[in-house]
Amino acid sequence: MLYLIVLSSSLVLTACPNQNPDQIRQKTAEETAALKRDTKAVAQGVKEGLSSNKSVDLNKASKDDLASLPGITAEQADRIIAERPYANTHQLVTRRVLSEDEYSKVQDRVVVNP
């Protein structure tokens, strides 16, 4: 982070050779605030990406949402939709929509809400 602040400051200094110290200080403060905001946004995006364990409701999810699950193809997503409604997630196996191995890859990412 410190490296980014130094880099940002040096860019401000090289871009503004005819400014007085107060103008440079103000511009540096603005750039640092923007960098801080952007860094927080990037960190939040990384955090969300790493914890993308959002649950998918088998009875309501779109084909794209279902196909985004690990190992689920577009054809399987169509089959999941065709077999709706589900009373519980394990019905994916009992109705032969997915094998037990395929189900084990998604079981912690799927839910059935009433």
Q: How many residues does the chain have?
A: 114
Tokens coding 29: 């403060």
Mean local confidence (pLDDT), 15-23:
75
pLDDT, one tens digit per residue, over 27-36 is 888 888 888 8
Residue 23's alpha-carbon distances to 16, 28, 44, 91, in angstroms, are: 9, 8, 32, 66
At residue 38, what is the residue type? D
Share of the chain above pLDDT 70, in %: 77
pLDDT computed for residue 49 by the predictor = 61
The rounded distance, in Å, linking the Cα atoms of 107 and 69 is 10
pLDDT, one tens digit per residue, over 63-111 is 999 999 999 999 999 999 999 999 999 999 999 999 999 999 999 999 9
pLDDT computed for residue 27 by the predictor = 87
